Structure 1
Amino acid sequence: CVVFQQIGASLMSSNVGSGLFIGLAGTGAAGGLAVGGFERNAAWVLIALGWIFVPVYISAGVVTMPEYLRKRSGGQRIRIYMSVLSLILYIFTKISVRLLTWVTALCLNVILDEMLKLVACFNAGGLTAVIYTDAFQTVIIIGAFVLMFIAFNKVGWCEGLLVQYERAVPAITVPNTTCHLPRSDAFHIFRDPVTGDVPWPGLIFGLTVLATWVWCTDQVIVQRSLSAKNLSHAKGVSVLGGYLKVFPLFFVVMPGMISRALYPNEVGCVDPGECMEICGASVGCSNIAYPKLVVEIMPGLMIAVMMAALMVFILLLVALSIVWIPVIQAANSGQLFNYIQSITSYLASPITTVFIMAILWGRVNEQGAFWGLMVGLVVGTVRMVMEFVYSPPSCREKDLRPALLKDVHYLYFALILLALTALIITAFSLCTAPIPEQHVTMDRDPNTYTFKEFFIHLYTKVQKGDKCYIPNYTGTFVLECGCVVSPMWLNEMSEEEQKALERKLTSIEEDHTWKTVCNVNALILLTVNVFLWGYFA
Structure 2
Amino acid sequence: EGISSLLRAMSQPTTGTTELPGQPGDTAPAFAAADIVVVVLYFAFILAVGIWSSIRASRGTIGGYFLAGRSMTWAPIGASLMSSDVGSGSFMGLAGTAAAGGLAVGGFEWNAAWPLLALGWIFVPVYIAAGVVTMPEYLQKRFGGQRIQIYMSVLSLILYIFTKISVDIFAGALFIQMSLGWNLYLSTVLLLAVTAVYTIAGGLTAVIYTDLLQTVIMVVGAFILMFIGFEKVGWYEGLQEKYSTAIPKITVPNTTCHLPRADAFNVLRDPITGDLPWPGLMFGLTVVAVWCWCNDQVMVQRALSAKNLSHAKGGTVFAGYLKLLPVFFIVMPGMISRALFPDEVGCVDPEICKRVCGAAMGCSNIAYPKLVIELMPDGLRGLMIAVMMAALMSTLTSVFNSSSTLFVIDIWQRVRKQASEQELMIVGRVFILIFVVISILWIPVIQTANSGKLFDYIQSVSSYLSPPVTALFILAIFWRRVNEPGAFWGLTAGLAVGVVRMIMDLVYTAPSCGEEDRRPAVLKDVHYLYFALILFALTAVVTIIISLFTPPIPKEKLDSLTWWTRHKKAPAIILENCKSEEAQTKAEDREKDLVETVASGDKEEAAAKPPCWKMVFLWMCGLSTVPTPSLSEEEKAALEQRLTSIEEKPLWRHVCNVSAILLLAVNVFLWAYY
The change in CA–CA distance for 1:194 and 1:462 in structure 2 (over 3 A counts) is farther
Amino acid corresponding to residue 213 of structure 1 in structure 2: W
Q: Which residue of structure 2 lines up, in the alignment, with residue 388 of structure 1?
A: 506
Q: Which residue of structure 2 lines up, in the alignment, with residue 39 of structure 1?
A: 109
Task: State the 1:310 CA deviation.
Answer: 2.3
Write the deviation string for residues 392-435 of structure 1: whole angstroms up to 9, x where unpaired. Answer: 00111011100000100000000000000001111111111223
Amino acid corresponding to residue 115 of structure 1 in structure 2: L
Q: Which residue of structure 1 lines up, in the alignment, with residue 137 of structure 2?
A: 67
Counterparts of 1:302-341 in structure 2, within 5 Å, are 302-311=384-393, 312=396, 313=432, 314-326=435-447, 328-329=449-450, 334-341=452-459
Please tell me whether the aligned partners of residues 116 and 320 of structure 2 are also in contact (alpha carbons under 8 angstroms).
yes
Write the deviation string for residues 174-223 of structure 1: whole angstroms up to 9, x where unpaired. Answer: 00000000000000000000110000000000000010001001111111
Q: Which residue of structure 2 lines up, in the alignment, with residue 186 of structure 1?
A: 264
2:273 paired residue among 195, 204, 217: 195
Amino acid corresponding to residue 530 of structure 1 in structure 2: V
Q: Which residue of structure 2 lines up, in the alignment, with residue 111 of structure 1?
A: 187
Quick one: distance in 2 between partners of 1:377 and 1:452? Answer: 29
Amino acid corresponding to residue 356 of structure 1 in structure 2: I
**SS of alignment partner, residue 222 of structure 1:** helix
Q: Which runs of 5+ in 1 are unaligned?
A: none
Write the deviation string for residues 57-96 of structure 1: whole angstroms up to 9, x where unpaired. Answer: 0000001111111101111111111111111111111122
Write the deviation string for residues 239-283 of structure 1: whole angstroms up to 9, x where unpaired. Answer: 000010110000000000000000000000000011011111111
Amino acid corresponding to residue 192 of structure 2 in structure 1: L
Which deviates further from its counterpart, 82-91 or 33-42? 82-91
Quick one: distance in 2 between partners of 1:465 and 1:515? Answer: 26
2:571 paired residue among 444, 447, 465: 444
Q: Which residue of structure 2 lines up, in the alignment, with residue 56 of structure 1?
A: 126
Q: Does 1:254 align with 2:332?
A: yes
**SS of alignment partner, residue 284 of structure 1:** coil
Q: Which residue of structure 2 lines up, in the alignment, with residue 522 of structure 1?
A: 660
The change in CA–CA distance for 1:471 and 1:24 in structure 2 (over 3 A counts) is same
Q: Which residue of structure 1 lines up, in the alignment, with residue 372 of structure 2?
A: 294
Q: Which residue of structure 1 lines up, in the alignment, with residue 553 of structure 2?
A: 435
Quick one: distance in 2 between partners of 1:29 and 1:208? Answer: 24
Q: Which residue of structure 2 lines up, in the alignment, with residue 377 of structure 1?
A: 495
The change in CA–CA distance for 1:301 and 1:486 in structure 2 (over 3 A counts) is closer
Write the deviation string for residues 94-136 of structure 1: whole angstroms up to 9, x where unpaired. Answer: 1221133145425124523321321232222111011012112
2:210 paired residue among 133, 151, 154: 133
Q: Which residue of structure 2 lines up, in the alignment, with residue 456 of structure 1?
A: 590
Amino acid corresponding to residue 202 of structure 2 in structure 1: G
The change in CA–CA distance for 1:501 and 1:212 in structure 2 (over 3 A counts) is same
The change in CA–CA distance for 1:193 and 1:101 in structure 2 (over 3 A counts) is same
Amino acid corresponding to residue 181 of structure 1 in structure 2: L
**SS of alignment partner, residue 247 of structure 2:** coil
The change in CA–CA distance for 1:6 and 1:483 in structure 2 (over 3 A counts) is farther
Please tell me whether the aligned partners of residues 248 and 347 of structure 2 are also in contact (alpha carbons under 8 angstroms).
yes
Quick one: distance in 2 between partners of 1:481 and 1:128? Answer: 15
Which deviates further from its counterpart, 458-467 or 30-39? 458-467
The change in CA–CA distance for 1:394 and 1:387 in structure 2 (over 3 A counts) is same
Q: Which residue of structure 2 lines up, in the alignment, with residue 508 of structure 1?
A: 646
Please tell me whether the aligned partners of residues 227 and 463 of structure 1 are also in contact (alpha carbons under 8 angstroms).
no
Task: State the 1:472 CA deviation.
Answer: 8.8
Please tell me whether the aligned partners of residues 32 and 186 of structure 1 are also in contact (alpha carbons under 8 angstroms).
yes
Give the TM-score normalised by structure 1.
Answer: 0.92
Amino acid corresponding to residue 548 of structure 2 in structure 1: L
Please tell me whether the aligned partners of residues 102 and 264 of structure 2 are also in contact (alpha carbons under 8 angstroms).
yes
Amino acid corresponding to residue 125 of structure 2 in structure 1: P
Quick one: distance in 2 between partners of 1:468 and 1:6? Answer: 23
Quick one: distance in 2 between partners of 1:455 and 1:75? Answer: 18
The change in CA–CA distance for 1:364 and 1:262 in structure 2 (over 3 A counts) is same
**SS of alignment partner, residue 335 of structure 1:** helix
Q: Which residue of structure 1 lines up, in the alignment, with residue 250 of structure 2?
A: 172
Q: Percent identity?
A: 61
The change in CA–CA distance for 1:428 and 1:510 in structure 2 (over 3 A counts) is same
The change in CA–CA distance for 1:79 and 1:485 in structure 2 (over 3 A counts) is farther
Amino acid corresponding to residue 628 of structure 2 in structure 1: S
Please tell me whether the aligned partners of residues 25 and 257 of structure 1 are also in contact (alpha carbons under 8 angstroms).
yes
Aligned residues: 527
Task: State the 1:438 CA deviation.
Answer: 4.5
Q: Which residue of structure 1 lines up, in the alignment, with residue 67 of structure 2?
A: none
Task: State the 1:437 CA deviation.
Answer: 3.4
Task: State the 1:152 CA deviation.
Answer: 0.6
Please tell me whether the aligned partners of residues 607 and 626 of structure 2 are also in contact (alpha carbons under 8 angstroms).
no
Amino acid corresponding to residue 417 of structure 1 in structure 2: L
Quick one: distance in 2 between partners of 1:166 and 1:71? Answer: 55
Amino acid corresponding to residue 444 of structure 1 in structure 2: P
Task: State the 1:6 CA deviation.
Answer: 1.4
The change in CA–CA distance for 1:464 and 1:481 in structure 2 (over 3 A counts) is farther
Amino acid corresponding to residue 320 of structure 2 in structure 1: G
Counterparts of 1:80-159 in structure 2, within 5 Å, are 80-102=150-172, 104-105=174-175, 107=177, 108-123=184-199, 124-138=201-215, 139-159=217-237
**SS of alignment partner, residue 170 of structure 1:** coil
Give the TM-score normalised by structure 2.
Answer: 0.74
Quick one: distance in 1 between partners of 2:173 and 2:81? Answer: 26
Amino acid corresponding to residue 143 of structure 1 in structure 2: G
Write the deviation string for residues 464-495 of structure 1: whole angstroms up to 9, x where unpaired. Answer: 79964347999xx99979896637x35xx44x
Amino acid corresponding to residue 198 of structure 2 in structure 1: F
Q: Which residue of structure 1 lines up, in the alignment, with residue 82 of structure 2?
A: 12
Q: Which residue of structure 2 lines up, in the alignment, with residue 163 of structure 1?
A: 241
1:415 paired residue among 533, 536, 543: 533
The change in CA–CA distance for 1:113 and 1:355 in structure 2 (over 3 A counts) is same
Write the deviation string for residues 325-366 of structure 1: whole angstroms up to 9, x where unpaired. Answer: 156416xxx322121111001001100110000000011111
Please tell me whether the aligned partners of residues 469 and 485 of structure 1 are also in contact (alpha carbons under 8 angstroms).
no
Quick one: distance in 2 between partners of 1:40 and 1:465? Answer: 40
> What root-mean-square deviation, in Å, do the aligned CA atoms of Structure 1 and Structure 2 show?
2.6
Q: Which residue of structure 2 lines up, in the alignment, with residue 532 of structure 1?
A: 670
Structure 1 moving runs of 4+ over 6 Å: 471-474, 477-483
Please tell me whether the aligned partners of residues 11 and 221 of structure 1 are also in contact (alpha carbons under 8 angstroms).
yes
Write the deviation string for residues 478-524 of structure 1: whole angstroms up to 9, x where unpaired. Answer: 9979896637x35xx44x66544433221100001000100000000
The change in CA–CA distance for 1:230 and 1:131 in structure 2 (over 3 A counts) is same
Q: Which runs of 5+ in 2 are unaligned?
A: 1-70, 178-183, 397-431, 562-569, 574-579, 609-617
Q: Which residue of structure 2 lines up, in the alignment, with residue 265 of structure 1?
A: 343
Write the deviation string for residues 294-343 of structure 1: whole angstroms up to 9, x where unpaired. Answer: 1111232443133222245523421453243156416xxx3221211110
